[in-house]
Structure 1
Amino acid sequence: MMESEEMSFGSISCVVSMQKTLRGCVLKIKSNLSSEIRKNFLTFAVCLSIVFAALLFRNWNIYPTVFADEYIYSKFSRLLPLSDSTIPGYVYLAIYSITNTCGDGFLSCARILNVLFFVAAAPFIYLTARRACTRGIASVIAFLSLLGPINSYTAYYMPEALYFFSFWLFTWFVLQLDNSSDSMAWSLGGILLGLSALVKPHSLFFLPAVVIYILYVSRKNGGDWILQAFRNAFFFIAFVFFTKLLFGYFLAGKSGITIFGPMYSSVASSTTSNFQRYLELFNVSAEILKGHVLAISLMFAMPIAFAINSSFNMISSKAEVKTDQKITFYTLAILASLILVTCLFTASVANTGPYETAARLHMRYYNFMLPLLLIIATSQLSLEPINGTLKWRAIAAFPIGATILYAVYTHLMPYTPSLVDSPELRGFTSNSTVFHVLSGISFVALAVWIYDARAGAKFFIYLFMPLSVFFSTTYVNQELRQRLIPDVYDKAGIFAKQHLSNEEISKLLIVGSDLSGLFRSLFYLDSTQASFEVIPEGTSYELSKIPVGKEWVLAIGDHLSRKEMPLQFPMNGFTLDRIVIVDFKKSSWPGVITKSRGLCSAEGWGRWSAGETVALEFAMPLPEKFAIQLVARAFGPNVGKEFMVHVGGITKNFKLNASHERRVIEFVNSQKDKTIKFDIPSPASPKDLGLSADERKLGIAFTELRIVPL
């Protein structure tokens, strides 16, 4: 009993100790944050407000751009419960679910949230930079980070802006910890990373790098620091997964107890088939890695060379870890791990779709951390920079300089930077003259750094980076603003949303030849039940193959012949058609059937025929060639007997069993008749058969009838 009480008391003490540690840590951070920001609050706030307003203005009225991503995130955050999401970004999905309150303006509300979170990262970038440079330079870095091409992500219904904020909150906190920090402080860091992983699970990809960083900064000149370092790493890892799984369960139930979720798990499983697959992935990844090395060397040559040079001193040094060393090591570890994971991912999905190639550079999987390279560049402007000798700087810079020259010579061929995957590189390479000028300045900054590290850092920060940000952001904004003009997929989706009711949209099928465009049309419809089908350019869609449950077809492009269907809305570049469907569960069919006879009243499953004949007169002439797709069953003595159906002067026969089944009956309607008649072979009442007191003369149970043009 005493032992149990001691264990209970020890557990309570541990929890209390952790609470005190975390509370003290938070208060200390809050105090430091307040005092630092207060000194430049007015100027900082005004500048942030200007950036906030500028981004909102830039994003205003831009049509959706990134598909299928924007559709997927919109669907899982707004239209489905979190437990149904295949992407475990539950914190992002939960926060952005509030855009439902904006109605059809949900995209605009999402962009406001994006800009808010994106700009909110600035204080943490500033405070991180302040650990290595002066207030003025830290402010320059913060605003260069916000003004860079990465701000294009604020225009998308995607988690990148919130992810940007969560990464910099985590980075700012972790870089304050050192070998004097206890396990409870590192546990709080684990909580922050766990929450970031609930914005995008990609945060877990740099978990190994952070663990290595924890071991590095825990070094001491004396004492048993190794055991404490591993204890810190253990608590950090434990709280990352504890936070992710606990909050995942809280937000999404049992479905939330997952690491990467169904979507990313399926991608991962596809990379682990056999040895030949491993070899193929390795070869493709090596080629992709080459592209990322070229890109990073072009845009961040000087800080990369400095990081490589200083890493030799950091690893071999036995002295206490300095602030600039911590930031440099952290930057290298994060960048290296994320580039390797990115290369593996790109290789794993290469050639799996029309847009997935090994030439894509998915820099968006690590471009949120690129401001760290600016910070380590400015660390050389401090009083005691880690510069090494001219000889070692030249050795570190030589391969980087050669890489720049090779990138300029090849113009990064065959790699294809894009607005979404790699906005920084896209802006950098959009104009050939600007590309060569910026590449030349980057090379000169590297050369100056070899001769004089401090001068090279100034050249890079004060000349190259402002020019790079200005030109690359200008070209990215120009490309993004092209989406102010809707294309045919935008117009088709908007038209269908305005013309159809929510129930009709749920029965809509979109067909076209552009996969991303089809997702965009689907985005406007704002429905989880509307679907699409990709068909080759120049081919016609066979309406006889329309899926069960679909009544409307939105054909984008020349995929349906004009006047092919009774209810058709031909527009400029797309056609909205309605398959004629008679749902016998309904009480009437306005706009479809004008008169009917020989039918009983509607029931939950459909309608019975009443008497010897059923006649349906349609509002418009039936197609010249069409098929009746009938879902029905026969009653009593009619089972297995011949039913007759008439259109104009043509008669066809069919049989039905006692259970519901589908029958397809084709007609040529040369007279453009509007009426379909059914003859019932043996009408009988349940009373006549001794089944019930029902005296209705029944013969066939109608559930659904479709008119499909041939």
Structure 2
Amino acid sequence: MTTSRPAARELAWPLLLALVLAGVAFFLYQRNTGLQPSVFADEWYYSKMSRLTPLADSMLPSYLYLWLFGASSACGTGFLDCVRLGNLAFFIGAAPFVYLIARRYAGKPLAAAVALLSTLAPLNSFTAYFMPETMYYFGFCVLSWVALTGGDWRPSTQALASGAVLGLMSLVKVHALFLLPALCPFLLLASHQRGGAWLLRGLAMAALAAVLTFALKFGLGYVFAGKNGLSIFGYFYESTKLGVDRLALLAAASVNARGHLMTLALVYGLPLAILGHALGARLLSWRGAQAAAAHAPATARRELLHLYTLLMLGAAAGLTVMYTAGLHVPGSREGFRLHLRYYSFVFPLLAVVAAAAVAPGQATAGPRHPWLRWVLAALLGATLLLALSRLQGYTMNVVDGPDIFGINLAGKSFRILVGLQLLLLLGWAASVRLPGWAGTRLAPLLFVCLALPAAYAASYQGVGRHLATLRTPTPTDMAAVFTREHVPAAERGDVVIAGLDLSLMIRAQFHIDHPDTTLLSYEGFGPLAEYQLPLHKKWMVLLGDFTVPDEVLTLQRTPWYSVVRLPDPGTTLSRINLALPPDPAVLTGIEGLSRIEPWGRWSDAKQVVFHFARPLPRRVGVLFNARAYDVNAQLPFQARVGGVTKEFRVGWHMREFALHFDTDGTARTLAIEVPQPVSPAERGQPGDTRPLGIGIGEIVITDGSARVEAAR
């Protein structure tokens, strides 16, 4: 009986935490179920790469994530809710590791509070998206547990476990590879803390972790994707070109870094001060700190926590800043975007840092260098005051950084959070203790129990409102679902989605759920001419107030979208390749075209005329592959067959379009009127005086008299 009571007390807090986590999981499940997708193009690409195409064709080397979440196809049209269940399992599954980490530095109640806060953080919004963030977050929590508890293991075990977890993480998000330059120095310094022949042992540990990381990445990558799995960063990132002007890059990076620092100070100002003090005190009194660590295991553990958090936060945030700066170009706001999601997985460790400073006897609370506390508090306080006027100038959105997006930067809550952090920094610098609580530090305790929950609550107001808007389907969602339900499954690859907004078109792709759907952008709403309709496709989804020619069958028409069945192109009668001499059996002559070039021929007159050897069909289709020269790309052309004239426009780039003419069946000519022939010499290119207008690569003549109507 006596033995069972201590055991029950030992399990009380973990059991209570488990019950609370179950409640949080149920809340998040209820919140996420039934929401419409919203993050495009990310959610469509991850859905497509995991479920609809071979892993070898993935443009991202996230093979482990894609393979695992590809199983959501078993859920049919409800695959997105199944993905959200998987996200939730990984997100809640990370909390026990956060608890075990925090338990090394704080009592059970505080460790349980930190673990609970990790599930209430704005990061939980990613459980609603078809994205790998929650699985990656789970991996980082496991990696942190291995790194921070591995000091009690064999050195080789710690190194192998760290490398294995990091290698698997790199198959979820390739960004994990940039944590390796932080993990290796940590293992080296952790070896130093073990004592003995630390240097060779530490180098061996770092090398072992690095080798296993890449062995798993390339080995499993090859298993999943063959030779394509041997790419380090994958097609997408390897093809991304960042800025090369170093001065411009550094200038953009400094601007972006200030935004991140202001944001971190607003939410995690006190843990940043504690980390800064730990680092500064260690540098200022290296030998003394070394001696203290040798005689104080608790202090040594806290120093490893500070070191690990600094290295991981520095590596991930530094990569984020430089990547964002590389995307910035003059006139854009890319350099002002705050991509917190690229390092927000480190944030639970900042809460652990604060919890570790609550109990008495902490290295951060001693008399070492008290002036350093005041300097750090002053610097972070100035950053917070600067945030009051400057943080609003940065670009926030709910996916880049839910931690800051939900906070109204012009509202009262923002000023309250700034005031809370300023008071906590002041109390921390003055080493204020809680009377009657055995010297418990007040500022870290208030941070964990008051300031951090307040910041999460303020951010969740905006995040919650955003997610609530995803519960009602938009016209785009309804258009795509209607298409998926009414277009035969075998023909969904022949669907073209057209509109003005690329993100909405990709959103429709997500619902139609076929890898071969294509997109077509228009410049404005209104009636579409025949030549603007796509060729070689059967169905078209028009997002917006478009109208189509009368001969096109409309399956569904609303003020917000239309679904139409495109006319069949008809039977091909002849194909005229203008990069070759004309076939006399098809053409008896051509007027108004210049010399033959490898791609086709330019017009060199006001009018181009094709003379056919035989009369054209009564319902003749003329399919062009053409482009315009200079100002003609913005002017209307005219095509005439018999007595019927139709107007069309051609852009600068080669594209396909079609026109149909109803004639008396005796017409033998096709004439094209060029709006404004212009010579290259007139545009500053001496030597070419041809009056160019339209460049034609190919013409296809079809018989459309027996076309199949869409109703069939």
Match for residue 333 of structure 1 among 299, 307, 311? 311
Distance of 1:43 and 1:665 partners within structure 2? 81
Q: 1:70 to 1:491 in 2, by over 3 A?
A: same
User: 1:114 maps to which residue?
Assistant: 87
Give deviations 1:580-604, integer Å, cap 9, x for gaps. Answer: 01566xxxxxxxxxxxxxxxxxxxx
User: 2:616 maps to which residue?
Assistant: 645
Distance of 1:266 and 1:367 partners within structure 2? 26
User: 1:413 maps to which residue?
Assistant: 392
Match for residue 343 of structure 1 among 321, 326, 342? 321
Deviation at 1:567, TM superposition (A): 4.1
Distance of 2:403 and 2:14 partners within structure 1? 29
Please state whether the residue corresponding to 1:338 is helix, strand or coil.
Answer: helix
User: 2:212 maps to which residue?
Assistant: 239
Distance of 2:555 and 2:663 partners within structure 1? 21
Amino acid at match of 2:310: L
Distance of 1:122 and 1:467 partners within structure 2? 20
User: 1:425 maps to which residue?
Assistant: 404
Distance of 1:108 and 1:580 partners within structure 2? 37
Give deviations 1:665-707, integer Å, cap 9, x for gaps. Answer: 858779xx998897999xxxxxxxxxxxxxxxxxx99899989
Deviation at 1:326, TM superposition (A): 0.8
Please state whether the residue corresponding to 1:485 is helix, strand or coil.
Answer: coil
Deviation at 1:298, TM superposition (A): 0.9
Q: Structure 1, unaligned stretches of length 5 or more?
A: 1-33, 585-605, 610-627, 655-663, 682-699
Deviation at 1:170, TM superposition (A): 1.1
Amino acid at match of 2:260: H
User: 1:5 maps to which residue?
Assistant: none
User: 1:360 maps to which residue?
Assistant: 337
Give deviations 1:332-362, integer Å, cap 9, x for gaps. Answer: 11111111110111122235999x7222100
Amino acid at match of 1:307: L
User: 1:381 maps to which residue?
Assistant: 358
Q: 1:136 to 1:537 in 2, by over 3 A?
A: farther
Name which of structure 1's ranges 204-213 and 76-85 shifts more when overlaid on structure 2: 204-213
Please state whether the residue corresponding to 1:175 is helix, strand or coil.
Answer: helix
Amino acid at match of 1:404: L
Distance of 1:60 and 1:471 partners within structure 2? 23
Q: In 1, are the aligned partners of 2:641 and 2:663 still within 8 Å (CA)?
A: no
Q: Structure 2, unaligned stretches of length 5 or more?
A: 1-6, 294-298, 433-440, 578-582, 588-611, 624-638, 646-659, 669-700
Deviation at 1:175, TM superposition (A): 0.9
Give deviations 1:628-673, integer Å, cap 9, x for gaps. Answer: 9999xxxx9965572323448xx9999xxxxxxxxx9858779xx9
What value does the CA root-mean-square deviation take over the aligned residues? 3.5
User: 1:401 maps to which residue?
Assistant: 381
Normalised by the size of structure 1, how large is the TM-score? 0.77
Q: In 2, are the aligned partners of 1:221 and 1:318 still within 8 Å (CA)?
A: no
Normalised by the size of structure 2, how large is the TM-score? 0.77
Trace 1:476-487 onto structure 2 (pairs within 5 A). 476-487=463-474
Distance of 1:548 and 1:371 partners within structure 2? 53
Distance of 2:546 and 2:521 partners within structure 1? 11
Match for residue 318 of structure 1 among 284, 290, 295? 290
Q: In 1, are the aligned partners of 2:38 and 2:470 still within 8 Å (CA)?
A: yes
Match status 1:462 vs 2:449? yes
Q: 1:563 to 1:386 in 2, by over 3 A?
A: farther
Match status 1:292 vs 2:260? yes
Deviation at 1:94, TM superposition (A): 0.5
User: 2:485 maps to which residue?
Assistant: 498
Deviation at 1:492, TM superposition (A): 2.0
Q: In 2, are the aligned partners of 1:630 and 1:706 still within 8 Å (CA)?
A: no
Q: 1:134 to 1:505 in 2, by over 3 A?
A: same
Deviation at 1:460, TM superposition (A): 1.1
Q: In 2, are the aligned partners of 1:118 and 1:162 still within 8 Å (CA)?
A: yes
User: 2:631 maps to which residue?
Assistant: none
Match for residue 370 of structure 1 among 343, 347, 350? 347
Distance of 1:353 and 1:103 partners within structure 2? 44
Match for residue 157 of structure 1 among 123, 130, 133? 130
Give deviations 1:383-424, integer Å, cap 9, x for gaps. Answer: 3212244322111211101000110133x1310221111001
Please state whether the residue corresponding to 1:177 is helix, strand or coil.
Answer: helix
Give deviations 1:602-621, integer Å, cap 9, x for gaps. Answer: xxxx8xx9xxxxxxxxxxxx
Trace 1:4-403 onto structure 2 (pairs within 5 A). 40-178=13-151, 181-220=154-193, 223-267=196-240, 270-271=241-242, 274=244, 277-315=245-283, 316=286, 317-319=289-291, 320=293, 322-351=300-329, 357-387=334-364, 388-403=368-383
Distance of 2:191 and 2:353 partners within structure 1? 20
Match status 1:489 vs 2:462? no
Match status 1:449 vs 2:428? yes
Distance of 1:652 and 1:449 partners within structure 2? 80
Q: 1:168 to 1:567 in 2, by over 3 A?
A: same
Distance of 1:441 and 1:89 partners within structure 2? 40
Q: 1:385 to 1:359 in 2, by over 3 A?
A: same
Give deviations 1:304-344, integer Å, cap 9, x for gaps. Answer: 01100011233423233711111111111111111111011
Distance of 1:552 and 1:352 partners within structure 2? 40
User: 2:648 maps to which residue?
Assistant: none
Deviation at 1:499, TM superposition (A): 2.1
Amino acid at match of 2:413: V
Name which of structure 1's ranges 117-126 and 527-536 shifts more when overlaid on structure 2: 527-536
Q: In 2, are the aligned partners of 1:377 and 1:461 still within 8 Å (CA)?
A: yes
Name which of structure 1's ranges 549-558 and 239-248 shifts more when overlaid on structure 2: 549-558
Amino acid at match of 2:487: L
Q: 1:231 to 1:540 in 2, by over 3 A?
A: farther
Q: In 2, are the aligned partners of 1:647 and 1:667 still within 8 Å (CA)?
A: no
Give deviations 1:141-161, integer Å, cap 9, x for gaps. Answer: 111110121110000000111
User: 2:634 maps to which residue?
Assistant: none
Deviation at 1:477, TM superposition (A): 1.0
Deviation at 1:201, TM superposition (A): 0.7
Trace 1:528-607 onto structure 2 (pairs within 5 A). 528-538=515-525, 543-561=530-548, 563=550, 565-567=552-554, 569-582=556-569
Amino acid at match of 1:556: L
Distance of 2:413 and 2:187 partners within structure 1? 41
Give deviations 1:459-495, integer Å, cap 9, x for gaps. Answer: 2111111222222223311221111122232222222
Give deviations 1:105-155, integer Å, cap 9, x for gaps. Answer: 111110111111111101001101111111111110111110121110000
Please state whether the residue corresponding to 2:563 is helix, strand or coil.
Answer: strand
Please state whether the residue corresponding to 2:520 is helix, strand or coil.
Answer: strand
Distance of 2:466 and 2:20 partners within structure 1? 25
Distance of 1:704 and 1:230 partners within structure 2? 78
Residues paired across the two proteins, number: 593
Distance of 1:38 and 1:252 partners within structure 2? 45
Q: In 2, are the aligned partners of 1:630 and 1:704 still within 8 Å (CA)?
A: no
Please state whether the residue corresponding to 1:384 is helix, strand or coil.
Answer: coil
Match for residue 416 of structure 2 among 415, 420, 437? 437
Q: In 2, are the aligned partners of 1:118 and 1:165 still within 8 Å (CA)?
A: yes
Distance of 2:77 and 2:519 partners within structure 1? 21
Q: 1:458 to 1:538 in 2, by over 3 A?
A: same
Distance of 1:119 and 1:630 partners within structure 2? 63
Q: 1:48 to 1:577 in 2, by over 3 A?
A: same
Q: 1:525 to 1:452 in 2, by over 3 A?
A: same
Q: 1:357 to 1:541 in 2, by over 3 A?
A: farther
Distance of 2:535 and 2:500 partners within structure 1? 22
